[in-house]
């Protein structure tokens, strides 16, 4: 028997022997304490059977004792620290909440066992600096204050992350402050990559009621989230009721993504965020400046600012694809739904842009460029309806390409303002507004017969009358295009089923 075969047979026999012991009546599988697991619970005792790295009552003590690559498990309860900051992380680490007091796998239930880290306004809740990667799961981070984390400024009340690949998942970040003195960045989360090589990933978190800045003499950016540099992925988060600044300017009431190498914002709820209550708020829901970013499948709703641009979102100098979003009931002075200023192409397809309001121009969207180099925008199969005072407004040098869009119920469909230097290539769009001074070629000007949720009603002139767009194979609901003999106009394909009632014969004898 060769050596390799011997080891295989020995391993098999050992496995059978262990299985036999486990199946023997009354046998109990031993619990092995793992050396890489360090645990925290309310008493600092009772978890040694699981946590070979030790059982602690202090989160910081456990983090400081854990070698690189360790896992820190934190049982249910509220944890504070005399220093304010509950955990300072300077090495590769995974931190998990949601355990019972034993910290065992069998006692893991995040719905039952809530792990709260409370900084009591004494610093950021978690501070991470110059680490290869850190992962945070099932934590509630609250009452952090990032004042002083940056020279003359503050950042990252909930999480301050510097030059680290960061994953935050299934967590709650709430009631944190970026700064109360000087400019504030990232009330909930601040993540910075100095050389652009780091990745920030936020997955299925609730980022709620955080504030970037409160100093009346300074600005506040990224009430919920501020990511600067590197790459970013925001997927299935709820970014709700965050505030950029109460009394001064803000870029990104809900989230601000700046100077990214690459980014994605997918299937998030971005709702009820405020850029600024008194003065200019830019991108009250979402602000993107610089980089290549995909924004898809999000609900961007009820975000607002007292003045400024981009109630729902603002795109500045970025290569952005905006696909399959519902942009609803947002408010700003310019660009109630969205505000776009960019020298690189911005593509918008399958978006529902409805009931947004602007006190100045661009109720649905406002495209602006005051340089001779134009802002290029490509709009395909969007529904822009019931916005005020107009569906789409342009100012300055804009190159606008439009195919299969539906503009209805707006006081004006498309308006071009001074200096009117709009280059429009519009083909086969439907217009049904109070005023339609610009329609392009092959326009359909009939009532689209929209349902209350902006789908196409039976008999709509938008059905089967659009141009074929090979790269756009689905509609906003995920149905394939086309459903009939041709593409439909707008964000939705018309979907009806004919009902055939059986013939019932009645015997009258």
**DSSP codes joined into one string, 350-377:** S-EEES-EEEEE-SSEEEEE-SSSPEEE
Instruction: Find residue 314's DSSP bridge partners.
Output: 287, 339
Residue 28 covered by a domain: no
Which is nearest to 229 in space by CA: 284, 178, 186, 278?
186
pLDDT at 435: 96
pLDDT at 21: 31
Which is nearest to 354 in space by CA: 394, 312, 314, 322?
312
pLDDT at 505: 44
Q: Is 7 exposed, middle or buried (0-12, 13-18, 19+ CB in 10 A)?
A: exposed
More confident residue, 474 or 21: 474
pLDDT at 440: 93
Which is nearest to 97 in space by CA: 130, 126, 127, 65?
126
Question: pLDDT tens-digit profile of 187-211?
Answer: 999 999 999 999 999 999 999 999 9
Rounded to two decimals, what is the model's pTM?
Answer: 0.91
The predicted model gives 356-385 an average pLDDT of 92
152, 228, 282, 303, 365 from 276: Cα distances, Å: 21, 21, 8, 11, 20
Residue 211 covered by a domain: yes
Residue 308 covered by a domain: yes
Q: How confident is the model at residue 32 (pLDDT cuts 50, 70, 90)?
A: low
The predicted model gives 389-410 an average pLDDT of 95
Other C-beta atoms lying within 10 Å of the C-beta of residue 22: 11
- Does the pLDDT at position 29 exceed 90? no
pLDDT at 359: 86
Length of the chain: 509
Residue 451 covered by a domain: no
pLDDT at 380: 98
Residue 439 covered by a domain: no
Q: State the Cα–Cα distance between residues 194 and 259, nearest whole angstrom.
A: 11
More confident residue, 502 or 253: 253
The predicted model gives 239-244 an average pLDDT of 98
Mean model confidence pLDDT for the chain = 90
Q: State the Cα–Cα distance between residues 205 and 487, nearest whole angstrom.
A: 37
The predicted model gives 207-217 an average pLDDT of 96
The predicted model gives 8-26 an average pLDDT of 37
Which is nearest to 161 in space by CA: 173, 478, 297?
173
Residue 20 covered by a domain: no
The predicted model gives 143-156 an average pLDDT of 94
pLDDT at 422: 83
The predicted model gives 219-233 an average pLDDT of 97
> Domain range spanning residue 280?
68-432
Residue 389 covered by a domain: yes
Residue 462 covered by a domain: no
Which is nearest to 168 in space by CA: 264, 94, 231, 224?
94
CATH of the domain at 332: 2.160.20
- Does the pLDDT at position 5 exceed 50? no
Question: pLDDT tens-digit profile of 273-316?
Answer: 999 998 899 999 999 999 899 999 999 999 999 889 999 999 99
Cα angle, residue 294 at apex, residues 491 and 368 outer, rounded to 5°:
75
| Bond before 455 cis per omega within 30 degrees | no
Which is nearest to 490 in space by CA: 401, 428, 442?
428
Give me the phi and psi of 471, to 5 degrees please: -80, -10
Domain count, the chain: 1
Q: Which residues contact 412 (CB under 8 A, 6 or more apart)?
A: 389, 390, 391, 433, 434, 435, 436, 437
Query: What torsion, rounded to 10 degrees, do the Cα atoms 368, 371, 376, 379 define?
Result: 20
Please identify which residue in the block is written with the tokens 């204050």.
145
Give the CB-side neighbour count of residue 12, counting CA atoms within 13 A.
6
């Amino acid at each position: 028997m060769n050596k390799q075969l011997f080891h295989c047979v020995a391993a098999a026999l050992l496995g059978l022997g262990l299985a036999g012991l486990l199946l023997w009546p009354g046998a109990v599988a031993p619990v092995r304490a793992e050396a890489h697991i360090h645990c925290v619970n309310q008493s600092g005792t009772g978890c040694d059977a699981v946590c070979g790295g030790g059982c602690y009552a202090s989160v910081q003590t456990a983090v400081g004792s854990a070698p690189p690559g360790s896992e820190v498990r934190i049982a249910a309860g509220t944890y504070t620290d005399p220093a304010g900051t509950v955990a300072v992380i300077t090495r590769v680490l995974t931190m998990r909440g949601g355990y019972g007091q034993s910290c065992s796998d069998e006692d893991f239930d995040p719905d039952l066992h809530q792990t709260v880290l409370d900084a009591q306004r004494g610093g950021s809740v978690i501070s991470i600096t110059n680490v290869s990667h850190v992962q945070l799961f099932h934590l509630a981070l609250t009452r952090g204050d990032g004042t002083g984390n940056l020279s003359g400024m503050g950042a990252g009340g909930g999480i301050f992350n510097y030059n680290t690949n960061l994953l935050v998942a299934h967590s709650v970040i709430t009631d944190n402050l970026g700064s109360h003195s000087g400019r504030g960045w990232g009330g909930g989360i601040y993540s910075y990559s100095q050389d652009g090589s780091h990745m920030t990933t936020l997955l299925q978190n609730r980022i709620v009621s955080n504030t970037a800045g409160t100093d009346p003499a300074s600005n506040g950016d990224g009430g919920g989230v501020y990511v600067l540099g590197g790459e970013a992925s925001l997927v299935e988060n709820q970014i709700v009721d965050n505030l950029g600044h109460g009394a001064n300017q803000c870029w990104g009431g809900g989230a601000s993504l700046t100077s990214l190498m690459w980014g994605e914002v997918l299937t998030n709820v971005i709702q009820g965020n405020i850029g600024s209550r008194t003065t200019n708020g830019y991108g009250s829901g979402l602000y993107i400046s610089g980089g290549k970013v995909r924004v898809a499948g999000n609900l961007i709703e009820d975000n607002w600012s007292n003045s400024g641009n981009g109630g729902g979102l603002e795109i500045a100098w970025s290569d952005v694809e905006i696909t399959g979003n519902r942009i609803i009931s947002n408010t700003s002075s310019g660009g109630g739904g969205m505000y776009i200023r960019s020298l690189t192409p911005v593509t918008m397809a399958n978006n529902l842009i409805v009931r947004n309001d602007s006190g100045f121009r661009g109720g649905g969207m406002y495209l602006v460029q005051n340089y001779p180099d134009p802002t290029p925008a490509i709009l395909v199969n969007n529904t822009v309806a019931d916005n005020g005072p107009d569906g789409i407004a342009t100012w300055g040098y804009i190159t606008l390409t439009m195919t299969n869009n539906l503009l209805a119920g707006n006081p004006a469909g498309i308006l071009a303002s001074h200096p009117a230097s709009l280059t429009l290539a519009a083909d086969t769009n439907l217009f049904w507004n109070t005023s339609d001074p610009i329609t392009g070629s092959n326009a359909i000007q009939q009532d689209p017969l929209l349902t209350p949720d902006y789908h196409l009603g039976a008999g709509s002139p938008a059905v089967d009358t659009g141009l074929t767009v090979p790269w756009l194979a689905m509609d906003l609901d995920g149905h394939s295009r086309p459903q009939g003999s041709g593409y439909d106009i707008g964000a939705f394909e018309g979907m009806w089923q004919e009902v055939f009632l059986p013939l019932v014969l009645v015997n009258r004898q």
